[in-house]
Amino acid sequence: MSVERLKGKVAFLCDLKGCENGLETDTGDFYAAKDKAREEGWVYRFRDGEWLHFCCENHEEMQFRGQTLA
């Protein structure tokens, strides 16, 4: 999973291998942070029993196709 807490605030990391994009939110509430991330263009997908987070739709599609940035 690509969600962390930094000083009590929710932060997201892109799950595409090789991508180092992240988004630090200004809230500790996960659902408010998720809404903020969506406003910034982040997308979420549930695959193989886990939630994946991507900084953009292109990275979500790349991961789905087995592609990486590395």
- Could you tell me the pLDDT band of residue 36, with boundaries at 50, 70 and 90? very high
Q: Is the pLDDT of residue 59 over 90?
A: yes
C-alpha span between 50 and 45 (Å, rounded): 8
Q: Is the pLDDT of residue 1 over 60?
A: no
CA distance between the termini of the chain = 19
Q: Is the pLDDT of residue 2 over 90?
A: no
Residue 16, C-beta contacts closer than 8 angstroms, at least 6 positions apart: 54, 55, 59, 60, 62, 63, 68, 69
**Cα-to-chain-centroid distance, residue 58:** 13
Question: Which pTM value belongs to this model?
Answer: 0.86
Q: Is the pLDDT of residue 5 over 70?
A: yes
